């Protein structure tokens, strides 16, 4: 493994011919995808800018095992750097691309919408243009269930009109999908956009609900509940998401395919907490607060399109998925406590 950065004009004399390029490869979903690609013997070009949106040490830990592989190349670069991105594509000529790099989070997008647009829209444009210029076979674009917003009809179908957006994050993801449509329709790039529904599992970001809840419960601190606890989410285990991405990489669509990847089994917030208590063997102390801006009442994926196109069948229940998630979270919290004590 070699680590390159975008400040260099060249990237070494003997570069690995990469099969699959993954943006956001050091993140939550990206690192799990890289795990699976390397297990399958794939050569992976990993791109990540190690943004401090959450502690950089977390991402470095995510790639700790990857960097041991001779089939892995890591380039520290920001997808917003148009010249550097094109240079990477022209140098490595990836056959397949999974675009997961993004500024994530609904609530933070309310206070910093410009960062979300430049990363999620401009950055996606740079990926698509570089893929077009280097004749990449397939681009899998990571989108979000947030694009459905407050849509009243459930489950959410891919052919629904996206006219219920309520956050800059959701708008940026919808705009990125529109760019994908333009690059398929007018420029001939093969693209699949996957709308992820509330992904959870080991390596979760610190800002995600299950990780926050876990820490508060373990520390015996009050857990804030925004609303009455009846809001629901279609929680999807990261392993099922990765399986869907890998299936999408095998497609060569002639139109912009948009596909939901969810668990297709929404769970109310209060039920999530009860299940988490059961897995953790510990009770939560709850405090009910008013709903927050940007929150939607429910998400629920219609996965019939994913089943038809990808053979997708999510197999991990919330109870099953929370087992390995809690074990990982316990280990992380224990490491944090040891570091603080020392």
Reading the block at residue 236, the tokens are 């999807």
What CA–CA distances, in Å, run from 224 to 88, 106, 269, 332?
A: 44, 17, 11, 22
Token pair in block for residue 179: 């760019």
Q: What is the mean pLDDT of residues 127-148?
A: 97
Centroid of chain to Cα 119: 14
**DSSP code, position 298:** B
DSSP H or E stretch at residue 88: helix 82-92
- Tens digit of pLDDT for each residue in 228-255? 999 999 999 999 999 999 999 999 999 9
Nearest to 214 by CA among 150, 277, 267: 277
203, pLDDT greater than 50: yes
Lowest-pLDDT range of 14-23, 114-123, 143-152, 282-291: 14-23
- CA 23 vs. chain centroid, Å, equals 10
Please report which confidence band the pLDDT of residue 334 belongs to, taking 50, 70 and 90 as the band edges. Answer: confident
pTM: 0.93
CA separation (Å) from 288 to 49, 93, 223, 226, 269? Answer: 37, 52, 9, 6, 12
Q: Bigger pLDDT: 36 or 339?
A: 36
Indicate whether 4 pLDDT > 80: no
Residues 6+ apart with CB under 8 A from 267: 232, 233, 234, 235, 275, 318
Report whether pLDDT(174) > 70: yes
Confidence of residue 124 (pLDDT cuts 50, 70, 90): very high
CB-count exposure of residue 252 (10 Å: 0-12, 13-18, 19+): exposed
Report d(CA 65, CA 303) in Å as an integer. Answer: 33
Strand ranges (E), the chain: 3-5, 20-23, 44-48, 72-76, 96-99, 138-144, 191-196, 199-200, 222-226, 232-233, 236-237, 257-261, 267-268, 285-289
Spatial distance between the Cα atoms of 342 and 336, rounded to a whole number of angstroms = 10
Q: What Rg, from alpha-carbon coordinates, does the chain have?
A: 20
Name the more confident of 207 and 7: 207
- Give the mean pLDDT of the chain: 92
> What domains lie within the chain, and their CATH numbers?
3-200+236-264+299-316 (3.40.50.720)
Q: What is the pLDDT of residue 15?
A: 45
pLDDT-derived band at 338, boundaries 50, 70, 90:
low
Residues above pLDDT 90, as percent of the chain? 87
Residues noted as catalytic: 169
pLDDT at 336 over 80: no
Residue that wins the pLDDT comparison between 320 and 296: 320
Whether 165 and 147 have beta carbons less than 8 Å apart is answered as yes
């Amino acid at each position: 493994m070699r680590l390159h950065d975008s400040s260099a004009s060249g990237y070494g004399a003997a570069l690995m011919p990469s099969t699959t390029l993954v943006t956001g490869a050091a993140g939550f979903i990206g690192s799990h995808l890289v795990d699976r690609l390397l297990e399958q013997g794939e050569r992976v070009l990993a791109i990540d800018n190690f943004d401090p949106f959450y502690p950089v040490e977390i991402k470095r830990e995510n790639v700790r095992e990857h960097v041991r592989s001779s089939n892995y190349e890591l380039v520290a670069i920001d997808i917003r750097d148009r010249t550097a991105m094109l240079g990477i594509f022209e140098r490595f000529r990836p056959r397949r691309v999974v675009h997961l790099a993004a500024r994530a989070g609904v609530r933070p997008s309310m206070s910093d919408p410009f960062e979300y647009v430049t990363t999620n829209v401009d950055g996606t444009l740079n990926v698509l243009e570089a893929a077009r210029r280097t004749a990449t076979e397939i681009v899998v674009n990571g989108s979000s269930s947030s694009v459905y917003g407050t849509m009243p009809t459930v489950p959410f179908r891919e052919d629904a009109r996206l006219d219920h957006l309520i956050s800059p994050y959701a708008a940026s993801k919808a705009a990125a999908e529109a760019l994908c449509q333009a690059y398929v329709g007018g420029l001939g790039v093969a693209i699949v956009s996957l709308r992820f529904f509330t992904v959870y599992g080991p390596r979760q970001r610190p800002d995600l609900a299950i990780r926050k809840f876990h820490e508060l419960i373990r520390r015996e601190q009050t857990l804030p509940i925004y609303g009455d606890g009846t809001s629901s989410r279609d929680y999807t285990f990261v392993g099922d998401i990765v399986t869907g991405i890998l299936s999408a990489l095998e497609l060569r669509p002639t139109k912009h395919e948009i596909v939901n990847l969810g668990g297709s089994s929404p769970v109310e917030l209060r039920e999530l907490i009860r299940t988490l208590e059961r897995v953790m063997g510990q009770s939560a102390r709850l405090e009910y607060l008013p709903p927050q801006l940007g929150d939607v009442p429910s998400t629920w994926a219609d996965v019939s399109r994913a089943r038809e196109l990808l053979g997708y069948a999510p197999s991990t229940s919330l109870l099953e998925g929370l087992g390995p998630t809690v074990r990982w979270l316990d280990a992380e919290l224990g490491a944090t406590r040891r570091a603080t004590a020392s």
